[in-house]
């Protein structure tokens, strides 16, 4: 078994999340809604939570997962923005929020995406689901599988819209997880802050106005998404994201008694997060973190560098204690490729492991040939 070299370093940094931490003190914000959570989008650090694991109906907030699978289908080449979809009877017959699409007529994928993001259109969501999976039921299977992959342990989807259905439930914590995953898709932001748009129908040339259901994009500093929801069972719900400088936060509020309350509580949480936390660059891509001994090469050691940029979400009061532990083999055998993964940095926040950074070789190191070894022997005896 290989032995590993372990080095301890104290720095202010937070890397790939393994565990979340919640602040349990009174933050001075009155949250009357049934459930709420505030997290850093990058690290998923929990800054505040209230009943965050309570299973609740989430109404149209469900469409965050519908959009996530849609953008992933585009990334995977399954779908293109200019693909044309013929509206089915089932999609056109949806109730609730709608883009009022016409059965038997064509719409582009892009038109349906913007209708879901801006106007929370149920008919557009179902049409996208049918295009991706063949039917809404098959799409829901994908939704639940993706939820499991994201660690959404208390979520069960029964449809792609969030319309009322028995056992269609999620939690504030799970909504934050899928929200953070959706926000990795930059194309979402093409429509996230659009206040008004329109959808023109080919059947008769009529135009449906699309108005954003998220009022916070007009009133909350840095807000550029995400998704609202309401049914009589779910109450007023919202997942909100905002970015200021280099930090992005997500607040989720479920089961609000009024629309005004959900927006106020969500905004209050976002403002609290920005006022009390900061995101500092912890590791820069290409930064030399450690060195390692090489066997069988003309080079005796290799520099190990950070594979990516990472940021640390830390309290402004300086009370966070961050430690890092470098885990690398005692040595490696040549040849070594440039960018070859060799070890990692494990990060702890206040004594608990929270993530890691992958370390890679900065340069290529070839295996020493016969002449190189002979020169080494001669040099040793001189």
CB 36 within 8 A of CB 253: yes
Catalytic residue, chosen from 33, 35, 43, 63, is 63
CB 96 within 8 A of CB 131: no
* Token pair of 329 as six digits: 């083999």
DSSP-derived pairing of the beta strands 106-108 and 288-295: unpaired
Is-catalytic flag, 120?
Answer: yes
Scan for tokens 């190191």, then name that residue: 365
CB 282 within 8 A of CB 304: no
* C-alpha span between 239 and 259 (Å, rounded): 13
What H or E segment, with its residue span, contains residue 228? strand 223-231
* Token pair of 41 as six digits: 């989008």
Catalytic residue, chosen from 91, 97, 120, 266, is 120
Round to the nearest angstrom and report the end-to-end CA distance of the chain. 36
* C-alpha span between 191 and 107 (Å, rounded): 17
Catalytic residue, chosen from 35, 60, 290, 361, is 60
DSSP state at residue 333: E
Assign residue 205 a region (left: φ > 0; alpha: ψ between -120 and 50; beta: otherwise).
left
Is-catalytic flag, 108?
Answer: no
* C-alpha span between 166 and 168 (Å, rounded): 6
Is-catalytic flag, 284?
Answer: no
Give the Cβ contact number of residue 255 at 10 Å. Answer: 22
DSSP-derived pairing of the beta strands 331-333 and 288-295: parallel
Assign residue 42 a region (left: φ > 0; alpha: ψ between -120 and 50; beta: otherwise).
alpha
By the 10 Å C-beta count (0-12 exposed, 13-18 middle, 19+ buried), 154 is classed as middle
* C-alpha span between 269 and 127 (Å, rounded): 34
* C-alpha span between 302 and 337 (Å, rounded): 11
Residues noted as catalytic: 60, 63, 120
């Amino acid at each position: 078994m290989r032995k590993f070299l372990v080095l301890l370093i104290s720095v202010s940094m937070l890397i790939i999340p393994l565990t979340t931490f919640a602040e349990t003190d009174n933050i001075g914000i009155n949250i009357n809604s049934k459930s709420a959570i505030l997290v850093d989008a990058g690290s998923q650090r929990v800054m505040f939570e209230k009943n965050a694991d309570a299973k609740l109906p989430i109404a149209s907030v469900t469409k965050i997962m519908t959009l996530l699978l849609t953008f992933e289908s585009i990334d995977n080449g399954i779908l293109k923005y200019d693909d044309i979809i013929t509206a089915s009877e089932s999609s056109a017959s949806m109730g609730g929020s709608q883009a009022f699409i016409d059965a038997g007529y064509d719409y582009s994928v892009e038109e349906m995406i913007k209708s879901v993001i801006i106007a929370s259109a149920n008919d557009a969501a179902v049409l996208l689901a049918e295009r991706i999976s063949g039917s809404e039921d098959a799409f829901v299977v994908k939704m639940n599988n993706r939820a499991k992959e994201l660690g959404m342990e208390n979520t069960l989807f029964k449809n792609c819209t969030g319309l009322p259905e028995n056992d269609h439930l999620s939690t504030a914590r799970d909504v934050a997880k899928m929200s953070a995953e959706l926000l990795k898709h930059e194309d979402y932001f093409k429509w996230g802050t659009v206040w008004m748009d329109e959808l023109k129908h080919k059947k008769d040339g009529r135009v449906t106005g699309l108005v954003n259901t998220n009022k916070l994009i007009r009133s909350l500093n840095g807000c550029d998404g995400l998704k609202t929801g309401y049914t009589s069972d779910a109450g007023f719900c919202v997942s909100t994201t905002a970015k200021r400088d280099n930090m992005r936060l997500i607040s989720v509020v479920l089961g609000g008694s009024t629309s005004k309350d959900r927006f106020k509580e969500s905004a209050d949480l976002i403002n609290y997060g920005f006022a009390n936390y900061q995101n500092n660059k912890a590791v820069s891509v290409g930064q030399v973190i450690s060195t390692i001994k090489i066997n069988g090469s003309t080079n005796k050691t290799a520099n190990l560098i950070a594979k990516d940029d990472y940021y640390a979400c830390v309290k402004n009061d300086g009370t966070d204690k961050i430690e890092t532990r470098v885990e690398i083999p005692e040595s490696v055998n040549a040849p070594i490729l440039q960018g070859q993964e060799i070890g990692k940095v494990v990060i702890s926040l206040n004594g608990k492991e929270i993530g890691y950074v992958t370390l890679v070789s900065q340069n290529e190191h070839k295996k020493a040939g016969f002449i190189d070894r002979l020169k080494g022997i001669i040099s040793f005896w001189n």
